[in-house]
Amino acid sequence: MSIRHTSGMTEVPEPTHRRRSHAGTRDLERYAGLFAERTSVMRSSAMRDLMAITARPEVISLAGGLPDTSTFPPQSFAAQMTRIAQESAAKALQYGPTEGFEETKDCILEVMGAEGMLPDPDDIIVTTGGQQAIDLVCKTLLDPGDVVICEAPTYPGAIPTLCSYQADVVQVECDERGMQVELLEQLLAELREEGRRVKFIYSVPSFQNPAGVSMSLERRRRLVELARAQELLVVEDNPYGLLRYGGEPMPPLYQLDGGDFVIYLGTFSKILSPGIRLGWAVAPPPVMEKIVLGKQAADLCTSTLTQYFVREYFAERRWQSYVGDLVEIYRGRRDTMVEALRTHFPAEATWTEPEGGLFIWATLPDYIDTGDLLAKALRADVAFVPGQAAYVDGRGSHSMRLNFSGVNDEEIHEGVRRIGKVIAEQVELYGTLTGEHRVPEPEQESTPNVVPFRKAGEVG
Amino acid sequence: MKVAVLKGGRSLERGVSLRSGARVEDALERLGHEVLPIDVGPDLVKRLGAERPDVAFVAMHGVGGEDGTVQELLEILGIPFTGPGAAACARCMDKVQAKDAIDEAGLPTPEWFAFNQTAFREFGAADALGRLEETLGFPLVVKPSRGGSSLGVKFARSPGEVPQALVSAFSYDDRVLLERFVDGRELAVSILGDEPLPVVEAILLEGDRYDFEARYEIGRTRFACPAELTAEEERAVTETALATYRALGCTGFARIDLILGESGPWLLEANAIPGLTDTSLLPQAAEAAGLSFEQLVERILDLALRPAAA
């Protein structure tokens, strides 16, 4: 074993393995008895392995959900970090309060104010990204077996979190006006009859990931009424509200409700940078108290350094114009993608034309399984997210999520063209197999995937 | 000894291959070998030429690494390698070829019909589907001829589901097969050198037995090793597996998958390079036979360097 000599420090034996080496051969058995029961619901599949190859450099990936960070001015980044180093180094490198700095909360108030919300700063907690906010809400509210109601399709990244808290996830179909709140009412009544306990309703009401649709004002009103009447919480996840490319702004659920039965989740990821991992949650004081305890146990506090960065960045008073720049870029990319879909996708396909956000949800004829299609698409060097990732029960297999924010116009065109080509091959093959060359349906207004409503537990 | 570990590549099973490779590298290091990890790409031949390893450990799955392509190159370069040779790999990878060879050897495999896309596109093969469905009955299984990890395998429960299943299977290969569904216990026999290892059984944890898709979801299946078989069943299963291994010309190792039905074993397919991850079946079987993962890796290397030792 070689010894690394470092002056003034204790001699440290140099690590001999570049990688963790396995403790023994009975790897799985050795640990199997130690795993928590919740790990058994964390499933893996061949399809997940397939997603591993989307990272190949030659693949045009419409599978991501990445904002475009290339337009953020490096000079501005450098200036802010320099200022922090010169003026606040010791503080910026120190722990901070669990709830987050007041100054960060001021920035959050500005962002929320831009959508007409004015929460009490004491109701806010700064989190390590919006994802931690989801995790903390689950940690605070869920016992194993509790029912959580989500949209169908729902944010794919919420599913592993909900599952790891052993929630019983029930999904309510969306149409072009978001979650069908009428169906939700019906479902709540059924669940009550069955004696099942609903803890919260998780929704991305504006420019939803993955469907790209927004909940109508009427449904928003009805949803918060329902929550109030039945004393249920609605968890409103709103990462995209300010990324609006058309239509009229819609009041967030938090604003309609006044914050009594709505927990609001926000993030700087889509309006500034996902790399700084800064998000937040707003909750009624008794709930917030528990969330803070959960946060303390999880990571003590959110990165002080990046909170300083946000403070400096907001002090420049240019954050809204930067969001404006992003909106311009993304609007162009959305238009490019919609145009590419019209050109390259078969007439039988439908897709959403979102007025904001980062995603388009496309639905193909029911004889095409988008998981299998992905294998074919990867051979053509293009990737998307198969729709099943947005469901807990195997549905969604004829749909796909396409991202337009993290790719340029040329990549969007070429990527959609490649996907269109593999779909066309399957459509033609199906026609040959059934002997009926399906007559393309007349061009109709695109609507999101509308599937008949089903109860939880029914797998189709 | 200098051992090149070939892994990754462009196949759909790249993820599993990287995990198999990493685990093999760890074991080789612990065994004191000089390890040369290679994520297989266009520079493969150049790197092998420059590094001149004593032996190549092929930890690749799927098209390219398991179908004889890489093996052929290694044969040309004169580098000994683990697992079956190029011709055997090609036969195992292609389920139609494998079933032909199994059938010719007089071994039982469920009845099947194979088609390529041209048959449907240019010769109206769709018109023959009705008759085939009558012969095979329902449910029937539709598979891509070349494809691993059960990707693209679909069960059609009625004639209406067949075209859709074919579209899925054709996503992975130009040739597909329709196969009679045989009900029974799902077994895998790994063979090391010429020795069958203890039999592994895949047992469905939840869902009814006709919830076919559940079989392919990790976490919904439990593996038992050694499988609970009567002495007679075990003999029938291992003998059939070994005969298949020989009929396909395998050397080194391979895994034979079969169904134990009421009338006895039915051969489904052979995997020339089964997974070597910590949840894979070959290492589990080796362990049941008392071989640690290092011992398994060492034995596989031995077989590559001294084929006669088998």
* Range from A29-38, A52-61, A359-368 carrying the lowest mean pLDDT: A29-38
Distance between CA A201 and CA A216 in Å, rounded? 17
* Range from A210-219, A315-324, B44-53, B123-132 carrying the lowest mean pLDDT: B123-132
Which residue of B63, B118, B161, B168 to mutate against A (max A Cβ within 10 Å)?
Answer: B168
- pLDDT number for residue B262: 93
Which residue of A59, A429, A430 to mutate against B (max B Cβ within 10 Å)?
Answer: A429
- pLDDT number for residue A32: 59
Q: Are residues B158 and B244 in the same domain?
A: no
Q: Place A22 in a pLDDT band, splitting at 50, 70 and 90.
A: very low
Judged by CB atoms closer than 8 Å, whether chains meet at B167 and A429 is answered as yes
Give the single-character DSSP code of A249.
-
Q: Place B111 in a pLDDT band, splitting at 50, 70 and 90.
A: very high
- pLDDT number for residue A109: 98
CB atoms within 10 A of CB A163: 17
Task: Kindly report the average pLDDT of chain B as a whole number.
Answer: 91
| Mean local confidence (pLDDT), A198-206 | 97
- pLDDT number for residue A393: 83
Amino acid at B73: L
- pLDDT number for residue B5: 97
Among B140, B159, B180, the domain-final residue is: B180
Peptide bond into A57 cis (omega under 30): no
- Kindly list the residues of chain A whose beta carbon comes within 8 Å of any beta carbon in chain B: 17, 19, 21-22, 24-28, 40-46, 48-50, 52-53, 56, 366-369, 372-373, 375-376, 378, 394, 426, 429-430, 432-435
CATH number at residue B158: 3.30.1490.20
- pLDDT number for residue A12: 66
| Mean local confidence (pLDDT), B179-199 | 94
Interval B240-273: pLDDT, tens: 999 999 999 999 999 999 999 999 999 999 999 9
CB atoms within 10 A of CB A252: 21
Check pLDDT > 50 for residue A440. no
- pLDDT number for residue A292: 97
Q: Are residues B65 and B123 in the same domain?
A: no
B222 near B149, Cβ under 8 Å? no
Q: Which chain B residues have a beta carbon less than 8 Å from that of A433? A: 120, 126, 129, 162-163, 166-167
Interval A260-309: pLDDT, tens: 999 999 999 999 999 999 999 999 999 999 999 999 999 999 999 999 99
Q: What is the pTM of this model?
A: 0.86
- pLDDT number for residue A4: 47
Name the percent of chain A lying above pLDDT 70.
84
Residue of A27, A53, A373 with shortest CB distance to B171: A373
Q: Are residues B150 and B17 in the same domain?
A: no
Interval A132-179: pLDDT, tens: 999 999 999 999 999 999 999 999 999 989 989 999 999 999 999 999
Q: Place A38 in a pLDDT band, splitting at 50, 70 and 90.
A: confident
A282 near A119, Cβ under 8 Å? yes
> Is B87 part of any domain?
no
Residue of A45, A50, A426 with shortest CB distance to B218: A45
Convert A62-99 to b/e letters by CB count within 10 Å (16 or more is b): bbbbebbeeebeeeeeeebeeebeeebeeebeeebbbb
Return left, alpha or beta for A94; rule: phi > 0 is left, psi -120 to 50 is alpha, else beta: beta
Distance between CA B41 and CA A109 in Å, rounded? 51
The CA-atom distances, in angstroms, between A112 and each of A119, A254, A281, A288, B260 are 8, 10, 11, 18, 63
Distance between CA B295 and CA B265 in Å, rounded? 30
| Mean local confidence (pLDDT), B294-305 | 95
Euclidean distance between the first and final Cα of chain B, in Å?
20
Check pLDDT > 50 for residue A336. yes
Q: Are residues B50 and B172 in the same domain?
A: no
Residue of A52, A373, A426 with shortest CB distance to B14: A52
Q: Are residues B248 and B120 in the same domain?
A: no
Domain covering A87-315 assigned CATH 3.40.30.10 in the classification: no
Q: Which chain A residues have a beta carbon less than 8 Å from that of B163? A: 367, 430, 433-434
Return the higher-pLDDT residue of A445 and A228.
A228
**Helices A129-141 + A285-299 axis angle, to 10:** 110
Give the single-character DSSP code of A260.
S
Single out the residue of A272, A393, A419 nearest to residue A340, CA to CA: A419
- Give residue A64's Cα distance to chain centre: 11
- pLDDT number for residue A176: 93
Judged by CB atoms closer than 8 Å, whether chains meet at A429 and B292 is answered as no
Return left, alpha or beta for A394; rule: phi > 0 is left, psi -120 to 50 is alpha, else beta: left
Convert B167-196 to b/e letters by CB count within 10 Å (16 or more is b): bbbbbbbebbbbbbbbeebbbbbbbbeeeb
Antiparallel, parallel or unpaired: β A262-267 and A233-237: parallel
CB atoms within 10 A of CB B158: 10
A8 near A130, Cβ under 8 Å? no
Distance between CA A252 and CA A282 in Å, rounded? 13
| Mean local confidence (pLDDT), B23-31 | 95
CA dihedral A130, A132, A137, A143 (to 10 degrees): 140
- pLDDT number for residue B151: 82
A245 near A334, Cβ under 8 Å? yes
Residue of B26, B170, B172 with shortest CB distance to A22: B26
Task: Kindly report the average pLDDT of chain A as a whole number.
Answer: 88
- pLDDT number for residue A443: 42
The nearest CA of chain A is from the CA of B106 a distance in Å of 33
* Range from A107-111, A275-279, B131-135 carrying the lowest mean pLDDT: B131-135
Name the percent of chain A lying above pLDDT 90.
75
Backbone phi, psi, residue B256, to 5°: -105, 125
Give the single-character DSSP code of A62.
-
Q: Place A426 in a pLDDT band, splitting at 50, 70 and 90.
A: very high
Domain residue limits at B61: 2-82
CB atoms within 10 A of CB A411: 17
- pLDDT number for residue A45: 55
| Mean local confidence (pLDDT), B66-85 | 95
Check pLDDT > 90 for residue B32. yes
| Mean local confidence (pLDDT), B37-63 | 94
Q: B49 exposed, middle or buried (CB, 10 Å; 0-12, 13-18, 19+)? A: exposed
Check pLDDT > 90 for residue B210. no
Q: Are residues B47 and B100 in the same domain?
A: no
Distance between CA B60 and CA B57 in Å, rounded? 9
* Range from A252-261, A351-360, B7-16, B201-210 carrying the lowest mean pLDDT: B201-210
A74 near A273, Cβ under 8 Å? no
Interval A47-82: pLDDT, tens: 566 666 777 788 999 998 889 999 899 998 999 999
Length of chain B: 310
Token pair for residue A415?
Answer: 């990527």
Return the higher-pLDDT residue of A459 and B191.
B191
Q: Are residues B155 and B191 in the same domain?
A: no
**Domain A46-71+321-428 falls in which CATH fold?**
Aspartate Aminotransferase, domain 1 (3.90.1150)
Q: Are residues B99 and B239 in the same domain?
A: yes
Distance between CA A256 and CA A222 in Å, rounded? 10
Convert B65-98 to b/e letters by CB count within 10 Å (16 or more is b): bbbbbbbebbeeeebbbbbbbbebbbbbbbbbbb
The nearest CA of chain B is from the CA of A116 a distance in Å of 46
A194 near A141, Cβ under 8 Å? no
The CA-atom distances, in angstroms, between B80 and each of A93, A288, B51, B190 are 55, 64, 14, 22
Convert B271-288 to b/e letters by CB count within 10 Å (16 or more is b): bbbbbbbbebbbbbbbbb
Q: Which chain B residues have a beta carbon less than 8 Å from that of A19? A: 22, 25-26
Interval B215-226: pLDDT, tens: 555 556 788 889
Q: Are residues B215 and B259 in the same domain?
A: yes
> Is B130 part of any domain?
yes
A195 near A174, Cβ under 8 Å? no
- Give residue B259's Cα distance to chain centre: 15
CATH number at residue B21: 3.40.50.20
Task: Report the number of distinct structural domains present in chain B.
Answer: 3
Domain boundaries, chain A: 46-71+321-428, 87-315
- pLDDT number for residue B121: 84
Q: Are residues B226 and B278 in the same domain?
A: yes
